[in-house]
Amino acid sequence: MNRVTGLLSKRQFNIESISVGRTETDGVSKMTFVVDVEDERKLEQFSKQLNKQIDVIKVSDITDKQIVARELAMIKVLTTPQQRGELQAIIEPFRATVIDVSKESMTVQITGNSDKVDAMIELLRPYGLKELARTGLTAFTRGQQLHQTEVKPYSILN
Amino acid sequence: MRASTEPKPAEGKQQTIKTGADLLVEALIEQKVETIFGYPGGAVLPIYDALYRADGSFDHVLPRHEQGGIHAAEGYARVSRKPGVVIGTSGPGATNLITGIADAMMDSLPLVIFTGQVAKNVIGTDAFQESDVMGITTPITKHNYQVQDLEELPRIVNEAFHIAATGRPGPVVVDIPKDISATVFERDVKNEFHLPGYQPTVRPNPLQINKLREALIGARKPVVLTGAGILHAGGTEALKSFVSNYDLPVTSTLLGLGAFPGDHHRFLGMAGMHGTYAANMSLYECDLLINIGGRFDDRLTGNLQHFAPNARIAHIDIDPAEIGKNVPTEIPIVSDAKKALDKLNELEPATLDHAEWVEKLESNKQNYPLWHNESEDVILPQYLLRKVHQLTDGEAVVTTDVGQHQMWAAQYYTFNRPDRWVTSGGLGTMGFGFPAAIGAQIADKDSTVVAIVGDGGFQMTMQEMSLLQERGLPVKIIIVNNQALGMVRQWQEKFYDKRYSHSIIDTQPDFVKMAEAYGLHGYKMESIQEIDRELGGILNSDKPAVIDCRVVQQENVYPMIAPGKGSHEMIGVSKP
Ligand SMILES: Cc1ncc(C[n+]2csc(CCOP(=O)(O)OP(=O)(O)O)c2C)c(N)n1
Ligand SMILES: [Mg+2]
C-alpha cells in the first residue's frame, strides 16, 4: 500500500482517488484508482509501474470497460428544523439516507457513482456544507461486457 | 544448525538452542553466501552472536563506515554477478546504508541488505536508534520486508535473494526487529515461497523477434546500443554472434562498457554526454536503433526531441516498465538480453544493405577520434588513464568514483571483456569507487583491481584503507588529483562564466602520509617521467598502493553534449 502510493507520487501521477479493501481471498486486497493521465504513454507507464511491484498481483485498466462503480459519501449539511423536509425531498431521488440529525445540522449518506454523488452535493451546497467525506471510487467490471473493444494492440507482455 | 564444531568460549548449551538469528544464518548458508559486508550494533547483536557461533561459515568484511561496506558489496555484486550481502544495525546503521541502496537501485545491482530494527513492542515510539527503515527504503528498493514473525524469516530471506537476483536485479531490504532475531524457537519452519505478483518475463516473444529481424533486413542505417542488461545476463558471446551475423555497428552506454569488445572494428565508442562523435552521430542518424539492456537515461540521450529522430526503435529489456518510458518504442521485446539474442541468433544471418552507412561511421571514427592536449612534463589526466590501460594490458578490473576522472576512465580505458568495469552511473555517487574496488578484489582475487578516484570523492570513503591494511588486498588506488571538484569546476567554467564557487580545493591531506598511516605504500607523482618510470611496477606488484597523481587542473572532458542539447550538438569534438 505504502509502496504503491509512494511510487505514484515519485513518478508524478495525478491521483484523484484511491480506495482499498480486502477481497474474497485472504491476504489479497484490491485497490481502485481514479487517475488523471495526459496520454496513452503515461497510462502505460502507470500500469507498468504498478505491475512492477512485487506485491501487485494484477493490474487492469477498466477505463473503457463496462463497469459498476460506487463510492460512498457522508455530508453534514447545516439545516434549521424547518428545512429538514425540504432536504428530505432533495435527497430522496438519489436514494440517499439521513443517518444523523441535530438541532442545526443533519448528516446524509449517499452511495453511487461519482457523478451522482457530485450532483447531490451541488444541490446541498447552498444550505452550507459543514463536513464532507468521500471514500473514493471502487469498481468491478460487469459480468457481461457488451462491446468488447479492448484488445490493446501494443501489449507487450507475453 | 551448522555451527562450528570447535568449542567456543561461550557456554556450550548455545550450540543446541536456535534463535531467530541462527535461522537467518542457516538461510544465508543455504543461499551459498560466502561474503558478508556488515557492521554490528545494538539491534543486530543477536545476529552477530549467531555469526560468532557460525564462525568460519562466511568471510565477514567489517568496513569502517556502513557506506563503505555497501559500496564494497556493490563492487562485489557487479564483478561476481552474485548478490552482495550487507548487514547494518538500526537507526544510524541503516541510514548510513541509504546512499548505497539508492545507488544499487539505479544501477540494478543485486543486494540483500539486513537491517536490525528495535524490538517490535517499541516500534513507533521513537525508541533509541529507531528509524523507519521501511518508509525510508521503499522508494529505493526493488522490494523490502519487515519481519513480523519468526516463522516467516527463512521464507523472507529466500524470497529476498530470489527477488534481488532474478529479473531486473536490485536491492532488497529485510528489516529484522531485535526481539525476532533473539527469540529462541524449537520447531522447524518452512522456507518455500510463492510470489504470484513476481513472474519476470525472461523469454522473448517469437513474433517480436521476427519483427526485429524484419526491421534489420529493411534497415539501411542500423546501430546497436549495449546496456548493462547484457552484462547482467552474461550475454556477451551471444551479442558478438548477433553483431557479426548482420555486421552491425555498436555503441554503448556508460554502464554497458565491456559488454562488447572495445577494440572491435565495429565499435564506435561510448555514446552520451561525453561519448565519441562517431557514437553520438550514429544515434542521431540511424534508421534502426536496437537498444539491448539499456534504459535511455538522459545522460545518454541528451535532449529527447533530438534523439534518434529518424529511427525505428527496438528495445530489449527485462523490465517492461523501461520500454517506452523515455523513448517511444516500435519493437518492444521484454526478455533477458541473452535469451533474446540467442533467439535472434537462431535465425538465418543476413547481409544488410548498409555499406554506405558503415563507411560513414568508419570515417567519423577516423576523422573525429577522442583527442586531448599533449605535454612533455606535467601529467594530463587523459595520458594517465591511457597509461593505466597500457600498463595493465587492458585486463584490470577498473572501478571509478564520480567526476571527470570517471569520464576519462570510460573514454580511455578500453574494455574488451565483460564485468571489468564498475562505476556509479545512475546515482553518480561520489565515494563509490574505492570501496567498490575492495568488493571487486574480494570477488576476484586474482585480477589487478584499480580504483580510479578523484581527490574529492576519495576523501568521502577513504577510511576503508583500513580494509587494505587488514587484509592485504592489493587494490591500487589512483587519485587523479586536480585539486578540484573537477566536474563541477568544468561546468562552472562552461556554463557559469568561470565563477568557481567552492570547487577548487587547495587544502588537502598528504595522501602519501595518509597511506602510510594505514600501513600502505603511498606514492606521489607529478610528471609523466615519474609515471613512465614507476607506475608499471606499482600496478603490477602484489601490494596495495595509493598513488597521488598530480594532474593539470584546468583540463576538461570532451567531447560534450551540453545540457538541453541533442546528441548531434556536441562541443569540443576536435582540438581547437
Ligand atoms: C555524493 C556526491 N556529492 C556531490 C556530487 C556532485 N559532484 C559530481 S562530480 C563532483 C566533483 C568530484 O570531484 P573529484 O572527486 O575530485 O573528481 P574530478 O571531477 O575532479 O575528477 C561533484 C562534487 C556527487 N556526484 N556525489
Ligand atoms: Mg578532483
Same domain as B63, residue B115: yes
Could you say which DSSP state residue B379 is in? B
In this structure, of A53-67, B50-64, B495-509, the range with the lowest mean pLDDT score is A53-67
Q: Dig out the grid coordinates for B418 from the structure.
A: 565483460
Distance CA B34, CA B238 (A): 30
Residues 311-340 of B with CB under 8 A from A: 319-321, 323-325, 328, 332-334
| B546 in the same domain as B410 | yes
Name the pairing type of β-strands B35-38 and B59-61: parallel
Please name the residue that has the C-alpha cell 558478508: B36
d(CA A1, CA B430): 33
Q: Are residues B41 and B163 in the same domain?
A: yes
Residues B400 and B547 in one domain: yes
Say whether both B393 and B510 belong to one domain.
yes
**Ligand 1: which of B402, B480, B503 to mutate, judged by most atoms within 8 Å of the beta carbon?**
B402
Of B195, B319, B324, the CB nearest to A44: B324
Band (B2; pLDDT cuts 50, 70, 90): very low
Residue B317 and residue B293 share a domain: yes
Q: CA B445, CA B100: separation in Å to the nearest integer? A: 23
Mean pLDDT of B245-260: 98
pLDDT value at residue A5: 84
Chain segment B18-38, per-residue pLDDT in tens: 899 999 999 999 999 999 999
Asked if residue B176 lies in contact with residue B27, where contact means CB atoms within 8 angstroms, the answer is no
One DSSP character per residue, B236-275 reads HHHHHHHHHHHT--EEE-STTTTSS-TT-TTEEEE-STT-
> Where are the extended beta strands (E) located within A41-128?
67-78, 97-101, 105-112
CB contact under 8 A, B197 and A55: yes
pLDDT band at A9 (very low <50, low <70, confident <90, very high): confident
Q: Tell whether B208 lies on the interface with A, counting CB pairs under 8 A.
A: yes
**B324 interaction partners in chain A (CB closer than 8 Å):** 41, 44-45
Count of domains forming chain B: 3
Measured between alpha carbons, how far is residue B48 from residues B44, B119, B149, B178 in Å? 6, 16, 20, 11
For the cut 80, the answer to whether the pLDDT of residue B4 exceeds it is: no
Grid coordinates in use for A31? Answer: 485497490
Kindly state whether residues B220 and B174 are assigned to the same domain: no
Residues B256 and B338 in one domain: yes
Does residue B200 lie within any of the structural domains?
no
Compute, in angstroms, the gap from residue B397 CA to the centroid of ligand 1.
22
A–B interface: beta-carbon pairs under 8 A: 51
In this predicted structure, the answer to whether residue B88 has a pLDDT above a threshold of 60 is yes
A54 to B197: CB separation less than 8 angstroms, yes or no: yes
**Do B348 and B197 meet the contact criterion of CB atoms below 8 Å apart?**
no
Tell me what the mean pLDDT of segment A127-145 comes to: 91
CA angle B2, B7, B10 (to 5 degrees): 100
| Average confidence score pLDDT of chain B | 95
Query: What mean pLDDT is predicted for residues B414-428?
Result: 97
Tell me whether B135 touches chain A (CB under 8 Å). yes
Residue A154: pLDDT over 80: no
Q: Is residue B529 part of a domain?
A: yes
* Average pLDDT of span B512-539: 98
Q: Give strand pairing partners of A21.
A: A30
| Mean pLDDT along residues B541-561 | 98
**Does any domain span residue B193?**
no
Closest CA of chain B from A84, distance in Å = 46
pLDDT-based confidence at residue A147 (cuts at 50, 70, 90): low
Q: Which of A53, A56, A156 sits opposite B323 (nearest CB)?
A: A156
Where are any strands of DSSP class E within B52-133?
59-61, 84-88, 111-117
Give exposure, B482-501, as e/b (b: 16+ Cβ within 10 Å).
bbbbbbbbbbbeeeeeeeee
pLDDT, position B14? 43
* B1 occurs within a structural domain: no
Q: Give, in degrees to the nearest 5, the angle at Cα B9 between B5 and B13.
A: 65
Over 90: is that where the pLDDT of B499 sits?
yes
CA A122 – CA B572 distance, rounded (Å): 63
Question: What's the average model confidence in pLDDT over B525-548?
Answer: 98
> In terms of domains, do B509 and B392 share one?
yes
B48 lies in some domain = yes
Interface membership of A36 toward B (CB under 8 Å): no
User: Is B128 among the residues known to form the active site?
Assistant: yes
Where do we find the cell 558471446? Answer: B237
Percent of chain A at pLDDT exceeding 90: 61
How close A97 comes to chain B (CA, Å)?
Answer: 40
Q: What is the pLDDT of residues B169-206, one digit of tens each?
A: 999 999 999 999 999 987 778 889 999 999 999 999 99
pLDDT tens sequence across B304-325: 999 999 999 999 999 999 999 9
Per-residue model confidence as pLDDT tens digits over B459-486:
999 999 999 999 999 999 999 999 999 9
Residue B535 lies in a domain: yes
Domain hosting residue B417, numbered range: 381-557
C-alpha span between B47 and B514 (Å, rounded)? 34
Residue B71: closest CA among B388, B392, B448, B462:
B462
Alpha carbon separation from B470 to A96, B434, B575 (Å, rounded): 75, 15, 46
Q: What confidence score (pLDDT) does residue B190 get? A: 83
Q: How far, in Å, are B258, B268, B360, B504 from residue B366 at the CA level?
A: 21, 10, 10, 36
Residues B134, B163, single domain; the answer is yes
Q: What is the CATH number of the domain that holds B211?
A: 3.40.50.1220
**Is there a single domain that holds both residue B361 and residue B396?**
no
Helix B20-30 / helix B45-53 crossing angle, nearest 10 deg: 60
CB-facing half-sphere around the CA of A112: CA atoms within 13 A: 17
- The lowest-confidence range among B38-52, B190-204, B512-526 is B190-204
Is the backbone peptide bond immediately before B559 cis, with ω within 30 degrees of 0? yes
Please state the pTM of the whole predicted model.
0.93
Of B134, B163, B205, the CB nearest to A158: B205
Predicted pLDDT at B13: 42
Residue B494 falls in the annotated catalytic set = no
ipTM value: 0.86
- Model confidence at B298, pLDDT cuts 50, 70, 90, reads very high
Nearest CA to B542 out of B477, B481, B473, B485 is that of B473
Residues B166, B222, single domain; the answer is: no
Give a yes or no: residue B429 inside a domain: yes
pLDDT at B278 over 80: yes
pLDDT of residue B16: 60
What domains appear along chain A, each with residue ranges and CATH number?
Answer: 2-61 (3.30.70.260), 68-138 (3.30.70.1150)
**Beta strand B250-252 with A97-101: parallel, antiparallel or unpaired?**
unpaired
Cell numbers 548458508 label which residue?
Answer: B29
Residues 6+ apart with CB under 8 A from B88: B38, B39, B41, B44, B66, B69, B70, B94, B96, B97, B113, B114, B115, B116
The CATH number that applies at residue B467 is 3.40.50.970
Does pLDDT of B391 surpass 90?
A: yes
Q: Which residue among B70, B423, B460, B487 is best mutated to probe the pocket of ligand 1, counting the most ligand atoms within 8 A of its Cβ? A: B487
